[in-house]
Amino acid sequence: MSTKNETLKALYPEDVLSIAKDLTDGEVTLLKQLDDLLESKYRDSINDHWVNATIPEDFFDDLGKLNYFNNPLLFEGREGAKTPSQLFQFFMSYTIARFDVSLVTLLGVHQGLGHNSFLFGGSKEQVAYYIPKLQSHELRTCFALTEPNHGSDVAGGLETTAVRDGDKWILNGEKRWIGGAHLADVIPVYAVDPETGKPKGFIIRPDQEGVEIDIIQNKIALKIVPNANIKLNNVVVEESERLQNINSFKDIAKVLYSTRAGVAYMATGAIAGALRATLNYVTQRKQFGKKLSQFQLIQEKLAMMEGNLAHAMSMCAQLARMQANGEYDEVATSTAKMMNALRLRDSVAMGRGITGGNGILADYDIARFFSDAEAIYTYEGTHEVNALVIGRALTGDSAFL
């Protein structure tokens, strides 16, 4: 039987700072199960799914079977803990992102933005009903905030409306870029109440009368993720299906802040995926009579990619420590997201350059990571918006408007 250290060395050989050593034995066991699942079941088909813009069959169910919210392995030696450790959550996102950015995005929308909309926004009764079903993957969800004309400025530009009519609300408007909307069982939709000018959250279903969903075509990144437009035409929602604790954009921001760290984790895993894809290529490809891995310039670029990864992993580890202590700080999460996405962009560019012409072919993993890095760079706060969050903290001046 392999020791924990031997398993970690095989599972995360790129972890030169030994950050994973602080994982518990049970956490390492579950992460190995996750990695084995991805490699054994989905490795041979992942590039085809990316090219064809199709979701791997069974992925959502397979992840649910891992029971990653409540698996007893995650609580060994952590008696009294009610949730998985933040370090485990980092390495879970990292492991899936290292395999594929689309798959970690699909899961992140469900377990982060969607799940936390119910967890933070729901009443006690709503939390008791929905959260177990979302955590087990009995129900699938997403997150409907952004709109055709509003992304970064959605806090002050929400156009979708919810008008109260007795014990019901009437929703009208449009949402855009909603990942997995047509696959969701329940969708948290955010709309402004014209009477108060404040946003609220509502639970709708794809098959509800007045709900129209169509998939956005011709993306160059995250092709596996089916992003959707949602049109709401006089959609009726009962007051009992309103998320009772969403009554301001500050409430929505809690959901966003809680998941921004997750995007920093995804970016870090994607750096590792790009490094692995590049290493696989250079150790097999020969030019001028020897393997590419034997050239000095190639090794220097690989070293830079490893350096980017070590920096990103260190930032994520510290962010995980902070959040484990209840420190959900917007400046810290914005810094990690901004910088790790930048390091990802830099790393995939080096990897794609190293692989030459083959680096633009979907037959090689680096092309997938190169393209998908552009989506990570933009979502959960663009580079510029995260920079303004940090700049506001540094100067005391808000430059958003």
Amino acid letter for position 48: D
DSSP string, 142-209: --B--BTTBSTTHHHH---EEEEETTEEEEEEEEEEEETGGG-SBEEEEEEETTTTEEEEEEE-TTST
Question: DSSP string of 241-253?
Answer: GEETT--SHHHHH
Q: How far apart are CA 366 and CA 348, in angstroms?
A: 7
CB 302 within 8 A of CB 275: yes
Q: Do 210 and 119 share a structural domain?
A: no
Number of domains making up the chain: 3
How far apart, in whole angstroms, are the C-alpha atoms of residue 312 and residue 287? 32
In a domain, 145, yes or no: no
279 and 192 in one domain? Answer: no
Residue 21 has a pLDDT of 97
Whether residue 243 sits in one domain with residue 254: no
Residue pLDDT, tens place only, 176-218: 999 999 999 999 999 999 999 999 999 999 999 999 999 999 9
Q: What is the pLDDT of residue 400?
A: 80
227 and 335 within one domain: no
In a domain, 4, yes or no: no
Residues 184 and 118 in one domain: no
Is residue 172 included in any domain, yes or no? yes
Total-model pTM? 0.95
Yes or no: say if 117 and 255 are a contact pair by the CB < 8 Å rule. Answer: yes
For residues 227 and 271, membership in a common domain is answered with: no
Domain CATH code at residue 130:
1.10.540.10
H or E, element range at 235: strand 227-238
Query: Which residues of the chain are under the pLDDT cut of 50?
Result: none
The reported pLDDT for the residue numbered 284 is: 94
Residue 70, in any domain of the structure: yes
Indicate whether 268 and 391 sit together in one domain: yes
What is the helix (H) or strand (E) element at residue 239, kind and residue range? none
CATH of the domain at 231: 2.40.110.10
Q: Is residue 5 part of a domain?
A: no
My answer on whether 189 and 274 are in the same domain is: no
The two structure tokens encoding residue 205? 């279903």
Q: What is the pLDDT of residue 91?
A: 98
Per-residue model confidence (pLDDT) at position 2: 75
According to DSSP, the residues that pair with 231 across neighbouring strands are 174, 212
* Within a domain: 322: yes
Supply the pLDDT for residue 401. 66
Whether 167 maps to a domain, the answer reads yes
Q: Say how far apart CA 205 and CA 182 lie, in whole Å.
A: 9
268 and 241 share one domain? no
Q: What is the pLDDT of residue 104?
A: 97
Predicted local distance difference test score (pLDDT) of residue 149: 86
User: Which of 220, 247, 274 lies at the terminal end of a domain, its last residue?
Assistant: 247
Instruction: Name all contacts of 322-330 with Cβ < 8 Å and 24+ positions apart.
Output: 323/86, 323/261, 324/85, 324/86, 324/87, 328/254, 328/257, 328/258, 330/253, 330/257, 330/260, 330/389
Q: Which residues constitute the domain of residue 207?
A: 154-247
Q: Are 288 and 391 in a shared domain? A: yes
| Cβ atoms 312, 376 nearer than 8 A | no
Is residue 8 in a domain? no
Task: Determine the residue type at 227.
Answer: N
CATH number assigned to the domain comprising residue 308: 1.20.140.10
Instruction: Clarify whether residues 181 and 64 are in a common domain.
Output: no
> Of 232, 247, 262, which residue is a domain's last?
247
The answer to whether residues 167 and 221 belong to one domain is yes
